Amino acid sequence: MSKEGQVRRGRITDPFRFDRGLLAEVAGGRRLWDTRIAGVDEAGRGCLAGPLVAAAVVLDYSRARLAKLEGLTDSKLLTAGAREELYRGILSTAARVVWVARCPATIDRVGLHRCNLAALEAALEALAGQYAVAVVDGFDLERPELRCRALVGADYKSAAVAAASVVAKVVRDRLMRTLAPDHSVYGFEEHVGYGTERHREALRRFGPSPLHRLSFVGVSSVQLELWDLEGEAEEDQPGEG
């Protein structure tokens, strides 16, 4: 992979080895008849504008051509070029790929956390149980019938979850850049909805657009200089994506 495709910092663990270990644990010493593991993750939770996108990816370890996924890790640690390259590899390698989106109005009405959980559940439900076990990044869905496990930091520990994080990020970024020309004063093509200084300045001058999350602190308020974004956006910065 080219320099553009390298991660920003070293991967903490081998995500493919983790997935295989989890499948073996699920098999419990019996013959591993189902080698499919699902990963679920979302992108855009900390954004001020645009949808929240959740994705689910199923990797079949008896069939997957893992060479196409070399360098796979948490999407936030990848450059934009690496994400696009891996996205293509995921689509040609994965047994299943699905994504769902929740619009800003739904986020405002339902609340971010509940909306986030519902999106993760919907993505996993769309797989119709076609996997041995599923891993969700961080959140316990409390849905035993979905055979899913919550794991903090799963997007760099599990290859399936890392793949889901890449799909969610690429899909969401592409969507925001498609919408950007209709809302040109905000610079969505640059920050895809995150709270950069340019974005905050546009909110000061023009107020919120239909794509903005009005329930987020500072979005519908003119006192944006009092707004501290650090806690809201630190987990998923736009970087080059």
- Please write the tens of the pLDDT for every residue from 164-215: 999 999 999 999 999 999 999 999 999 999 999 999 999 999 999 999 999 9
Mean pLDDT calculated for residue range 84-99:
96
Residue 226 has pLDDT above 60, yes or no: no
Cα dihedral: 15, 16, 21, 24 (round 10): 150
Q: Mean pLDDT, to the nearest integer, of 89-96?
A: 96
Q: Cα–Cα distance between 63 and 131 in angstroms, integer? A: 13
Report strand pairing: 52-60 vs 96-102: antiparallel
Decide: 42 and 120 in contact? Cβ < 8 Å. Answer: yes
pLDDT at 27: 84
Q: Is 33 helix (H, G, I), strand (E, B) or coil?
A: coil
- The per-residue pLDDT for range 9-68, each reduced to its tens digit, is 444 568 999 999 999 999 886 777 889 999 999 999 999 999 999 999 999 998 867 888
Q: How far is CA 197 from the centre of its chain?
A: 23
Q: Is 3-177 CATH 3.40.800.10?
A: no
The C-alpha atoms of residue 8 and residue 20 are separated, in whole angstroms, by: 25
Mean pLDDT for all residues in the chain: 87
Q: Parse the chain into domains and list their residue ranges.
A: 3-177, 181-233
Q: Which two tokens stand for residue 50?
A: 């645009």
Give the burial class of 32: count Cβ atoms within 10 A of its Cβ; 0-12 exposed, 13-18 middle, 19 or more buried. Answer: middle
The kind and range of the H/E element at 38 are: strand 36-43
Rounded distance between C-alpha atoms, residue 232 and residue 48, angstroms = 9
d(CA 84, CA 90): 10
Q: What is the CA radius of gyration of the chain?
A: 18
Q: How confident is the model at residue 221 (pLDDT cuts 50, 70, 90)?
A: low
